Amino acid sequence: MKKVYVNEQWCLGCHLCEYYCAFANSGKSSMIKALKDRHIAPRIRIEERNNISFAVSCRHCTDPLCVKSCISGALSIADGAVMVDSSKCVGCFSCIMACPYGALSRSEAGVIQKCELCKKNEFGMPLCVQGCPNKAIVYEER
Amino acid sequence: MKYVIIGGGAAALSCIEGIRSIDKAGEITLVSKETYPFYGRPLISYLLEGKTTMENVLAYRPADYEATHGVHALRGETVTAIDASAHTVALASGELLPYDRLCITTGSVPFIPPMDGLEQVEDKTTFWTLDDALGLKAMLGEGRDKRVLILGAGLIGLKCAEGILHLAASVDVVDLAPRILPAVLPEEPAAIVQRRIEKDGVRFTLGDSVARFEPNLAHLKSGGEIPFDVLVLAVGVRPNAALAADAGCRVERGIVISSGCETSVPDIYAAGDCTAQSDPETGKPRVLAIWPNAMMQGETAGRRMAGGEASFDKGVPMNATGFMGLHLISAGSYDGELLLSRTPDAYKALYVRDDRLVGFIMLGDVERAGIYTSLVRERTPLSSIDFELIRETPQLMAFSATERARKLGGAHL
């Protein structure tokens, strides 16, 4: 199945993926309404140091440790993607304990949030990828 | 192929998933004492706290899960004996269930030490099952006028305290140990958590125990007294291994299992809290009663039962929890050189020995803790990563570019 992959050598460290992610999951109609004067909590995060930078988001593992660790059933696998039902999440963060990529984080509501490949929002395919100016993140089969 | 699973918790569920990943047709019968569908036992405190609903608790899997996975579930039924040579399981109803492969996932049972006068206490409960939680809620009623005494300052006792604080007039916690969470945390972080819980009104009496009970009064060994209306017994749990022992399985506190989750008796497998599996550090059987372990072992057992390949030998003690908004994640052992960092909002302890991260504790800020967990679980040589960097904060930057390409670029696929 298609997943988001990182081409580290092309990452400019521009953080646009983070802004596109925050916008895609904001429910707002425009990027300005979604982001202006706001602290953003994106589900993709750039790590950067010296001249190296790269984006980290959920790997949608075939055997995800986060799903196995979830005590509430909030995390599940649907069509190969790891999805969250935030109404079931109690915020115990067992998934944060388990994920070797550090790809899940706490949402503003205090429950878990993670990349769902934009399957639940109106964009239908990862907006971070569409917004990346240098093909440092791609959505493809590998 | 006829599969029988005894128990209805995380290990049982995962065992079904393991079997069905290989054998879509075999008959699976599940025998569970509880009448509820699969639910996360650790949710019971969150339910009382109001952080989840009964509907959500019972929806760990979709309502049609058993039908879609071909599981014949006998709920509210108990197994009285296993006949390993005849390959049958006897039920309380008198029925005999034949099996080709059996999985024992009987979990833990609360341990209640003998205490003088305990029988005189009317409103008392353990805090282990959904029925325990619902019973406790009924004892507390709506008046917020009941004084609660909890015996045990471990994870169960403290999550209970958090869950019922808004339903009780007062909550007292007594533990024999000199600190809270004695099995999870050393002194300093335990004290930080204790202060946070006390701030919300829970009272602790540590290094003390109950000498005897009157119906609504606990007399302590130290001479003190604590009046109460409702008593919660959360001293600890023990592996529920009696059935397996009677069937001839080797038991050392827990049912001893191999990395393939086989017991010492042919065609009998076991998974979850009731088991003891070899500790990679000491080589001795060790009980590791935590949710992720039950899920990993259950799946391993299921796959093996169905004739597949699977093994699990990376069990690491770990806990993710929180009290009154203060989050806590810990993993591994604390037997190593301590590298400590503290800020006003966070406490972090890393334990290093023989070029490995053997354990860690994060309090407050738990962001990306799983990166540390993976170092513990995979026994990653610290000389192979930029440890100074990862010590500051969990990050993938500390790994080599090749390793990052594998992790993020799917280069291993």
Query: Is B315 among the domain residues?
Result: no
Using a CB-CB cut-off of 8 Å, the residues of chain A touching B370 are 65, 95-102, 104
Contact assignment for A54 to B389 by CB distance below 8 Å: no
Q: How far is B362 from chain A (nearest CA, A)?
A: 10
- The ipTM (two decimal places) reads 0.97
B319 within a domain of the structure (yes/no): no
Task: Give me the torsion for CA of B320, B322, B326, B329, rounded to 10°.
Answer: -10
Residue B60: the pLDDT is 96
Separation of alpha carbons B165 and B198, rounded Å: 11
Q: What is the mean pLDDT of residues B59-70?
A: 95
On chain A, the residues whose CB falls within 8 A of the CB of B299 are 68
CB within 8 Å: B329 and A59: no
**Residue B411 banded pLDDT, cuts 50, 70, 90:** low
Which among B40, B59, B296 has the least Cβ separation from residue A71? B40
Q: What residues in B contact A54, CB-CB < 8 Å?
A: 396, 404, 408
Residue B133 and residue B105 in one domain? no
Which of A47, A69, A142 faces B396 most closely, judged by CB atoms?
A47
Q: Would you give the DSSP letter of residue B41?
A: G
Residue B128 belongs to some domain of the structure: yes
B56 contacts A72? CB cut-off 8 A: yes
* Cα gap B226→B346, rounded to integer Å: 34
pTM of the predicted protein model: 0.96
Give B303-315 pLDDT, tens digit per residue: 999 999 999 988 9
Establish if A94 touches chain B: CB-CB under 8 angstroms: yes
Task: Indicate yes or no: CB of A91 within 8 angstroms of CB of B320.
Answer: no
CATH of the domain at B386: 3.30.390.30
Which domain does B271 fall in, by range? 2-109+238-305
B217 with B258, same domain: the answer is no
Q: Which residues in chain A are closer than 8 Å to B292, comparing Cβ atoms?
A: 65, 68-69, 94, 98
* Domain at B252, CATH number: 3.50.50.60
* Residues with pLDDT less than 70, chain A: none
Termini Cα distance of chain A? 8
**B282 and B191: one domain?**
no
Same domain, B18 and B48: yes
Residue B258 domain-assigned?
yes
pLDDT digit string, tens, across residues A92-104: 999 999 999 999 9
Q: Answer yes or no: is B356 within a domain.
A: yes
Using a CB–CB cutoff of 8 Å, tell me whether A135 touches chain B.
no
Q: Are A55 and A137 in contact (CB under 8 A)?
A: yes
Average predicted confidence (pLDDT) for chain B = 96
Determine the residue among B376, B408, B412 to mutate to test chain A binding: the one whose Cβ has the most chain A Cβ atoms within 10 Å: B408
Phi, psi for residue B310 in degrees, rounded to 5: -175, 145
**pLDDT (mean) for B291-305:** 97
Same domain, B155 and B80: no
Q: How many structural domains compose chain B? A: 3
Query: Per-domain residue ranges for chain A?
Result: 1-57+116-142, 60-114
Name the fold adopted by A60-114. Alpha-Beta Plaits (3.30.70)
Interface check for A12 against chain B (CB to CB < 8 A): the answer is no
